[in-house]
């Protein structure tokens, strides 16, 4: 049987905010949640563990797909 994690559990486990998780899902850098009921989503524990294990050790740069376009802001 697959163990499922709630959004709250994923936030606590990863240390990411719910908004950051949503943003990373949108750019393909976080596992997609499953619709458990009409009002509830969850993630398989194994997919979150796999994502955690894929993270680099130590400090890393922000992925290009998550960077904001700061060139416009700096010139304005």
Number of structural domains (the chain) is: 1
- Output the pLDDT for position 2: 77
Q: What is the domain range of residue 13? A: 4-56
Q: Which residues of the chain have pLDDT under 70?
A: 1, 60, 69-76
| 63: in domain | no
- Output the pLDDT for position 62: 73
Please give the radius of gyration of the chain, using alpha carbons only, rounded to the nearest integer.
15
Cβ-proximal residues to 43 (8 Å cutoff; 6+ apart), any chain: 4, 5, 10, 31, 33, 34
Tell me how far apart the alpha carbons of residues 21 and 40 are, in angstroms, rounded to a whole number.
16
pTM: 0.73
């Amino acid at each position: 049987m697959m163990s499922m994690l709630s959004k709250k559990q994923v936030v606590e486990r990863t240390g990411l905010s719910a908004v950051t998780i949503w943003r990373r899902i949108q750019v393909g850098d976080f596992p997609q949640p499953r619709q458990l009921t009409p009002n509830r989503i969850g993630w398989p524990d194994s997919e979150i563990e796999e994502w955690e294990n894929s993270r680099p050790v130590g400090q890393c740069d922000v992925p290009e797909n998550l960077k904001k376009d700061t060139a416009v802001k700096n010139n304005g």
